[in-house]
Structure 1
């Protein structure tokens, strides 16, 4: 597969960091406390942030809290990353009405796109999924469709995405399914309509995603090692697949951290790891619980073994 030649200013091109939502101990968004992490990302060469996604605990946060956080973080990010800074924010509603309400809450913010998930809880037909994303596309913002069936329970089939190519506002897709064959089909659709591009959200398949034609990568562990992920992207785009594979191996080493507490509680692991590195607070939304002493010991040991990839540990994290 030839290397991708996506527009450099496309919303899903490059390394996209699914940013955590920094919270205080009472569970309230605390934008200033994420500034060290933003500076770390900017220094590592990242230009694009995705807020209120899975790592950002978007579905657990009220729409007004997401808006407040996005407004302040966007201002900080554009200051740190300069003219190349891009911001996307997730709108994760259980149904279409809540999704549109969450989008409306973001209307006055300067965003590059809104990331829209499939509805959750109930299982929906292809017609219903198409109607959901079509209604979001008619809201007036560029839309990135987010396929995350492990969380929503509603996988987005190729047939739905193909129909959505008729919606000019649908500019891209983030796929976290981990299904390589499906991802290849999404990339084939992108070749049919260049204004539509695809980003790989499965961390263990970043290099493979680039070989298949991904425009962007969305690695949660990029918060720990942004330069590593940027190097992987550059190697893959440049056709140096051996180098990209080597970087992928390092990404997999970082992703193994999530095994300390598998499942969605990986949010707690990544936040605690960032806290130990002095980059943001560890607090997560209820019903998430802090790491146990055993888990914390395991995490410290794992980060020490990863000293070649992450910053030295802060001996007294804030």
Structure 2
């Protein structure tokens, strides 16, 4: 009788609730659905409701509540067919939000478990990007930037971007020469004329490279950081596209030059980076 009452209330609230002023109805409906016997409510609808409400909670900064809803959604999935074609997108979206939420609230073990599920079941490398990013970020637990960098290089290798973990100055100079060849006499400002990437594989490479370079800098592996940045400039030139992570990569390359008082070279990267930032005005104040 109790379950029937909660089910009836939940159905009314689902019909009337919507994101915004009435989202409390959706929150209450989800809690009612999660409190009743699973067989009384369609599992796919329950999963969709928990995912929707979890996203609303995340947007409000209520990450603990969001994770509770995402976990409830996972609990309604049928492990035998949730990764099949019909439910694939829903399942992937749910797990991506779950692993990001777990990581955000510091539950690294639970995040790692969700990451492994995505690694095992996602169909393509770009579809694993959000899991890859958390995989790399989570290695920083205990300020272990070295482990994070190595994980980032591991992921980049899956995209055929092979970078040695401890490159020498000679290898870095060779990388710089190859960049000069790729530029074919153009300045780095030519990058700002390229279209914004839509290919998921390129976007993924740049995002993973950005966090890898950042953590390499924190780990005082300056040669490696420069190697990552320059390699990704070559990737951008090869594909003739840019992404929102490229400005950070370019600007980062100027830092070691400034430290060595090579101001002209530093200015070259600064000008190119600022020019690229103009292509992504919504990102200002983020990684920059």
Range of TM-score over shorter length = under 0.3
Report the TM-score, using the length of structure 2 for normalisation: 0.28
Which protein has the larger Cα radius of gyration, Structure 1 or Structure 2?
2
Would you tell me which structure has more helix in proportion to its own residues? 2
Normalising by structure 1, report the TM-score: 0.26
| Structure with higher strand content | 1
Bigger relative contact order, structure 1 or 2 (CA pairs below 8 A, ≥6 apart): 1
